Amino acid sequence: MNTEQIVLASRPVGLPTPVNFKVENATLPELQKDEVLLQGMFYSVDPYMRGRMNAGESYVPPFEIDKPLEGGVIAKVVTSKSEKFKTGDVVSARLPWQVQAIAPAKVLQRVDETLAPASYYLGILGMPGLTAYFGFLKIGKPKKGETVVISGAAGAVGIVVGQLAKIYGCRVIGIAGTDDKAELLIKEFGFNDVINYKDTKDINATLKETCPAGVDVYFDNVGGEISDAVVRQMKRLGRIILCGQIALYNSTEIPMGPRLQPILLTKSILMQGFIVGNYQSQFPEGIQQLGTWLREGKLKYKETIVEGFHQLPAALLGLFKGDNTGKMVVQA
């Protein structure tokens, strides 16, 4: 059986362009036991995909030349040889950029369209939303009245963390890189304040002014010097959630920085790294709770939907031109 796929034609230098991609025909093998044939509905495009277009080693392997790109996809079951799924079921999975694809049933997550639109399962009810949910609640353990600081606050994860912190009665300070983002976070998503770190002469002094009582929970999406400054403002028994570290993307050597252990020790602070997969068995609980808050209007979500499978490369390129507000997805 034939289908179409979008492959990496060449590795970009600097910003990717349309010539780095190619639409090709592909032949699907015969469906085996416990597999399903899927028809793509929504495809996620994400900034981290740029890194996978490079040849270099990273914490995820690079895309291969002449092989399809891959990412989060919401798909409908066309044919099933699994007892778990039947024709018409909607599922979420990490899949190649193909119009149709075959996948083992065990990698599929069921999508509940009565809770929220299917595309939401690529964003607030998908990896970014669940990352925010489990990292902030299970490690951060927020309490009413606490001060929460979020770096990379305007990102897909940061925006959800900030709203969760408001639901839990916290004071929420974001750190972001443009005034537009700062305004969006305050006006649309209820952040109490946002620090534009590019516009700040002394991040330590600004943090101290903005969080005069100190920081209880720090949700760290970036690492580096911004984090050094936040850690200095942490209160006794504070919690630091490590969710992203710029250094990871750019460097194989471990960079130097101030030793944080003396601060963590004298203030009895917890610092913990995690990946959302650690909480896989609790995903249904997380999706249910996030979906409920969405319906109640306690969580807001923005997405930009681009129409057409062939538009996947253009949508990805659009991310780097700021074509999107909120999460960018492509509808096949």
Instruction: Give the pair of three-digit tokens for residue 105.
Output: 């049933």
Structure-derived torsion over alpha carbons of residues 187, 191, 192, 198, reported in degrees to the nearest 10 = -90
49 binds its own copies (CB under 8 A): no
Nearer to its own copies, 59 or 320 (CB): 59
Q: Cα separation of 329 and 331, whole Å?
A: 7
Show contacts with its own copies in window 202-221 (CB under 8 A): 220
265 binds its own copies (CB under 8 A): yes
Picking from 49, 55, 74, 73, the residue whose alpha carbon sits closest to that of residue 11 is 55
Nearer to its own copies, 75 or 150 (CB): 150
Instruction: Give the pair of three-digit tokens for residue 246.
Output: 């710029």
Q: How far is the CB of 48 from its own copies (least distance, A)?
A: 14
Show contacts with its own copies in window 281-300 (CB under 8 A): none
Picking from 212, 220, 226, 222, the residue whose alpha carbon sits closest to that of residue 270 is 220
Per the rule left: phi > 0, alpha: psi between -120 and 50, beta: everything else, 214 is: left
CB 216 within 8 A of CB 148: yes
15 binds its own copies (CB under 8 A): no
Q: Cα separation of 31 and 155, whole Å?
A: 38
Using CB under 8 A as the binding criterion, the count of chain residues that bind its own copies stands at 35
Region binding its own copies by CB under 8 A among candidate stretches 21-29, 78-86, 112-120, 266-274: 266-274
Burial 213-233 (b: 16+ CB within 10 A, else e): ebbbbbbbbbbeebbebbbbb
Region binding its own copies by CB under 8 A among candidate stretches 40-48, 97-105, 163-171, 252-260: 252-260
Helix (H) or strand (E) holding 194: strand 193-196
Q: How far is the CB of 44 from its own copies (least distance, A)?
A: 22
Show contacts with its own copies in window 230-249 (CB under 8 A): 237, 242-245, 247-248
Q: How far is the CB of 271 from its own copies (least distance, A)?
A: 5
Q: How far is the CB of 86 from its own copies (least distance, A)?
A: 36
48 binds its own copies (CB under 8 A): no
Show contacts with its own copies in window 59-78 (CB under 8 A): 59
Nearer to its own copies, 103 or 240 (CB): 240
Structure-derived torsion over alpha carbons of residues 132, 133, 137, 139, reported in degrees to the nearest 10 = -50
Instruction: Give the pair of three-digit tokens for residue 161.
Output: 């963390």
Instruction: Quote the radius of gyration of the chain (alpha carbons, Å).
Output: 21
Q: Cα separation of 178 and 180, whole Å?
A: 5
Instruction: Tell me which of 32, 268, 288, 325 binds its own copies, using CB under 8 A.
Output: 268
Nearer to its own copies, 55 or 265 (CB): 265
Q: How far is the CB of 214 from its own copies (least distance, A)?
A: 15
Q: Cα separation of 91 and 74, whole Å?
A: 6
Q: How far is the CB of 265 from its own copies (least distance, A)?
A: 4
322 binds its own copies (CB under 8 A): no
What does the binding site for its own copies look like in residue numbers (CB under 8 A)? 59, 220, 223-224, 227, 237, 242-245, 247-248, 254-275, 278
